[in-house]
Amino acid sequence: MAESVAEMFYTAHDMMGSRDTDEFQRGRAILRQARLASLQMDLRMSSRRSYH
């Protein structure tokens, strides 16, 4: 899952460098999804640590 989140960040970064407004907005949406996925991963990792 970490690889897919990293790929989302790279994709969003590339798209946000575009001068095309639609592509820029899609990049921002992907960035939001990547941030959410990253936070969810962090939450899972911290909950696993608290159980052990």
Q: 1-14, pLDDT tens digit by residue?
A: 889 999 999 999 99
Q: Would you say 27 and 8 are in contact if contact means Cβ atoms under 8 Å apart? A: no
Between 18 and 50, residue with greater pLDDT: 18
Q: 23-50, pLDDT tens digit by residue?
A: 999 999 999 999 999 999 999 998 887 7
Please name the residues in contact with 34: beta carbons below 8 A apart, sequence gap of 6 or more. Answer: 5, 8, 9, 12
Query: Structure pTM?
Result: 0.81
